[in-house]
Copies of this chain bind each other. A is one copy, B any other.
Amino acid sequence: MSDGLAGEAAALDAADVLRAKRAEFVLDGGDGSEGAAGAEGTVYLDGNSLGALPRAVPGRLADVVAREWGQLRIRSWAESGWWTAPERTGDRIGRIVGAAPGQVVAGDSTSVNVFKAVVAAIRLAEEDGGGRDEVLVDAATFPTDGYIAESAARMTGCRIRAVEAGDIARAAGPRTAVALVNHVDYRTGRLHDLPGTTAAVHATGARVVWDLCHSAGALPVGLDAHGVDLAVGCTYKYLNGGPGSPAYLYVRRDLQPRFDTPLPGWNSHADPFGMSPGYTPADGSPRGRVGTPDILSLLALDAALDVWDGVDLTAVRAKSLALTDFFLRCVDAYVPAGKAGPLTPAAHAERGSQVSLRCASGAAAVMAELARRGVVGDFRRPDVLRFGFTPLYTRFADAEHAARVLAEVLGR
């Protein structure tokens, strides 16, 4: 059975329309031309936590440091395009998440952007009238979203109500100002219904903020197409921007003139170098900026986004589903019954680009042993093994290899 799946993996890799993309990343196990995965090193299935290094980054960053900072110094704010990098990079992210130019700006952390988005959405609701004072949050949210939403509610006189993401559509009502929902659950890998939830929340007159951390770069998001109000996300997972690379904020174009930020830093001023004591917000996506952007991290991200040029997100999604389907089949075939089973839904419409397995016992030790044997995923308390599948560089052979090693570790 093992030979069958390994052979199938080789055939799937040979037919993969995205296979050439792997060569644009620094990975063990070569550029995709080898047959067996992992023979030369690590199989990296943790790109849903920290994406692998794109080959374009080191050279570009070295040039930013040595020439743009070291030689041009202050002139680079204008001459090297530093000042406009947040919106320029934002537009590149926009293409990946289905946003037309001028609506996404890169900068700050996801947490800080959640704060901007939730407070701004509450203020939109206030302006719309009707006494809406409820902030709905997805009960299984990545914790920071919940903590920040709680702070946003506290500072605006609202209250938080936590419900399962799948119930947000039903829970929203006349008191709801905004719902903050994760597109893909970080723990289970469950994909939530963005179009349906957005429409349902809108039908009650409320706003919705989507957290795209675990979906951007893994599947088509369609922010514009589905009329999303605001969205945030990080760039260090499937977008491969590097550790802690700048996050982003999407504000739908028609809402931008009403976007009233709680963090009106000088970079979001209509005339930042006017140094005016009064705040006048900029038009467009720069209204979501705050202070001086981390240029080194931001330009590393910009270089990392080169790998997306010409990439069709439909192909990415197709490969992602094929990879996770295949991994689930391998796990089912190799792993002894009762040792570990999928937490991630089987239905494609409910699956992101990771597979989470609930491990019957000793999950942390199992993941540590997997890493020792060259298969890198991660562990989430109390019993979850997470494996991320980055369609641009993960091979079917990697999936087969990881399942095989997992079965060995679990004592086949």
Contact = CB atoms under 8 A, between A and B. Distances in A.
A74 B58 contact: no
A40 to B, nearest CB: 13
Contact of A266 (B147, B290, B292, B300): B147
Contacts of A274: 381
Tell which of A44, A146, A294 has the most Cβ of chain B within 10 Å: A294
A53 B74 contact: no
Given A146-B277, A148-B263, A292 B234 contact: yes
A101 interface: no
A296 interface: yes
Contact of A111 (B146, B247, B266): B266
Interface in A320-349: none
Interface in A247-263: 247, 261-263
Given A65-B57, A108-B108, A74 B378 contact: yes
Q: How extensive is the interface on chain A, given as a class?
A: 35 or more
A400 interface: no
Contacts of A76: 243
B62 A244 contact: no
A36 interface: no
Contacts of A121: none
Interface in A162-215: 162, 187
Contacts of A291: 108-112, 144, 247
A108 B273 CA distance: 21
Given A147-B266, A264-B147, A376-B74, A58 B65 contact: yes
Contacts of A70: 26, 52-53, 58
B245 A296 contact: yes
**Of A53, A243, A246, A380, most B-chain CB atoms within 10 Å:** A243
A243 to B, nearest CB: 4
A266 B151 CA distance: 13
A50 interface: yes
A275 interface: yes
A139 interface: yes
A214 to B, nearest CB: 14
A243 B77 contact: yes
A62 B265 CA distance: 31
Given A147-B266, A277-B143, A297-B297, A290 B65 contact: no
Interface in A4-53: 26, 44, 46, 49-50, 52-53
Given A65-B242, A147-B265, 4 more contacts: A52-B73, A142-B275, A151-B261, A294-B296
Instruction: Give the 10 A-B CB pairs with smallest separation, nearest first.
Output: A109-B291, A111-B265, A111-B291, A243-B295, A144-B266, A53-B70, A294-B297, A294-B294, A244-B292, A147-B279
6 contacts: A109-B290, A109-B293, A111-B290, A144-B291, A234-B292, A244-B295
